[in-house]
Chain A
Amino acid sequence: MSSFLEGRVLPLADRMDGAIKKISAVVIYLTTGILLVALTLNVIFRYILPGGGLNWLNELPEHFFPWMIAAGVILAAQHNAHIAVDFVIQSLPARAARVLAISIQVLLAITYLIFAKVALNVSEIVSVEYSSLLHISRSYAYYALVFLAVGVFLTSLSFILRICLFGLQGLPEPNAEESIV
């Protein structure tokens, strides 16, 4: 069983994780770039143009910020960077710690699967709402939450496999520099 998981399933999980990381990184590059340029231009225009800044530029964060956040949450999950109070799991014997870590990932997978379904439902409800200047449907921003939930769900599945095979050592080491406090 273990050799099947390691030989067949793990390479698939590696490919899936690689794809999730790449997609999330591209979303972060794009949204950060767009928002940085839009907000900088708006500050400049406010002092140059007689009527102040361009209002439609102010609307861009409503559409792009949720995607930047969603990609950040997924990438943080992939890097195991979400902050936890982990002295209990660290003080448990290896076997108990492994069971607890798997249980946490199962709980997260179930939670975010339900979350994805609810977020999709809300996205459909708000599809009739449009932003006032760019006339973009509100549901596009809500899809970011569906993206977030699916990304975290898939990451949890991958982590379950890694913990089963290698224990807690199978998870990525959190990077202190990515903390914000």
Chain B
Amino acid sequence: MIIVLAISFFVLVLLSVPVGHVLVIASGLSVLSSDFLPLNLVVQQMFSQTQSFPMLALPFFILAGSLMMSGTLGRNLIDFAGAIVQRYRGGLASITVVGSAVFGGVSGSAVADATALGSMLIPWQKKEGYPAGFIAANNSASAMIAILIPPSIPLILYSLVSGVSVGALFTAGVLPGLMITAAFVAVCNLSARMRGFPYERKPFEWNKFGLLTLKAGPALVMPILILVLLRFGFATPTEVSVIATVYALLVGIFVYRDMTLARLKSAVLSAGVATGVVMLVIMGSAIIGWLLTFAQIPQTFAQWCVDTLQEPWLIILAMNLIMLIVGMFIDLPAAILLLGPIFVPLANAIGLDLTQLGIIMVLNLAIGLFTPPVGTTLFISSSIARVSIFHATRELMPFYVAAFGILMLFSFVPFLTI
């Protein structure tokens, strides 16, 4: 049964069948290959995911991000990020990095972030004389910050498979998000110094900065609002996602005054489609998770790792390697939903904190987003910058070094996960 599942999964993924459908077909074939499991099981397991109240947080966080990102707010956030870093060496490239951190507090989506920031900033950076490969690399790598700063869709998914609270994961995501931001700004600064990128030193204007902070304020408040509501138990993650949506609506109507019925309808449909994409993966993963648990694969795998590798640090290193390789090929939500049930028992067996595992997992899989052969943000950024994937990948090297450094820190220094 499990062999049928594994073979059909890998063959169908390689044949370019969409991952959500692969999960449904592979689990269906696996159930058919057993003598005692009915096909009804596939439908029941898929349906069970639609009855999960915490799962409702996904569409509403996506909708809140969609509502916020589609208005004039995007321009305000970029201007705010520019006011902070533009006057330093590599400042124009650093706007992308800081912009990803502030956009991430609204959207929680690396792909939305890479698309929105890339389409606004890459043409400007190119015009100012930055190398196209470098700015494509910078845009694709910086997008990973968006899924660490709350709200983060991947962290919600990990919460669903691990049982760790969304509040704890969102809080734990802030530090790696800020550290990656600082590390990538340093990469931009060093690259600018070494390669002589164009640079114009301007004095810091406090009045202008104050005005921009006021304009960007409603968006900057959103991640703080989410964290406070979750950490102090005022509302459940689903309720917080709904509050965030209502907040985004009110900000659009009363503060920015750019909310139209057409924009609202487009944001709702866009969120609906995104929900459909991720929920099909979640529903398909539920059957696979059930089948793996039924065959006791996670427990057997955990025991095998403990017996063979023995040392916890070696097991953590091996987990990192597996997550990196999986992240290079498989879409992030599917990877979390497939690896989560296997790695959670293993983490328990070696005493690795599950919140720390969540951060390690999202960091690893986020690196996969800008790593060939299947790097979504890399593809988007290269296409906006009109540069080859090969050229952009070569420019990604310093970003990989910085990201791996932080990944290793969070893998082996437990107290960083707070």
Contacts and interface: CB of A to CB of B under 8 A. Distances in A.
A75 B333 contact: no
A35 interface: yes
A73 B280 contact: yes
B233 to A, nearest CB: 12
B273 A79 contact: yes
Contact of B115 (A58, A73, A118, A177): A177
Contacts of B308: none
B43 A179 contact: no
Interface stretch (B48-56, B177-185, B403-411): B48-56
Contact of A145 (B47, B276, B369): B47
Contact of A39 (B111, B238, B270): B238
B147 interface: yes
Interface string B10-52: 0001111111110011001000000000011011101100110
Contacts of B238: 39
Nearest to B42: A118
A85 B374 contact: yes
A76 B269 CA distance: 10
Interface residues of A, number: 61
Contacts of B268: 28-29, 32
Contacts of A83: 18-20, 277, 281, 331, 334
A25 B265 CA distance: 9
A89 interface: yes
Given A100-B16, A176-B111, A145 B28 contact: no
A19 interface: no
B60 interface: yes
B27 to A, nearest CB: 11
Nearest to A66: B50
Given A111-B28, A181-B333, A72 B272 contact: yes
B331 to A, nearest CB: 5
B269 A25 contact: yes
B153 interface: yes
B329 interface: yes
B28 to A, nearest CB: 7
Given A85-B374, A141-B47, A73 B276 contact: yes
Interface string A167-179: 0000000011111
Given A81-B277, A114-B28, 18 more contacts: A32-B59, A35-B60, A69-B280, A72-B59, A72-B275, A76-B277, A83-B20, A87-B373, A104-B16, A107-B25, A108-B17, A118-B39, A122-B43, A141-B51, A145-B43, A145-B46, A176-B380, A178-B277
Q: Which 7 A-B residue pairings sit nearest by Cβ, starting from the closest?
A: A72-B276, A82-B18, A28-B272, A89-B16, A66-B50, A76-B276, A73-B276
9 contacts: A36-B245, A72-B274, A84-B19, A87-B374, A103-B15, A107-B17, A122-B43, A141-B50, A178-B270
Interface of A: 24-25, 28-29, 32, 35-36, 39-40, 42-43, 58, 61-62, 65-66, 68-77, 79, 81-89, 100-101, 103-104, 107-108, 111, 114-115, 118-119, 121-122, 125, 141-142, 144-145, 175-181
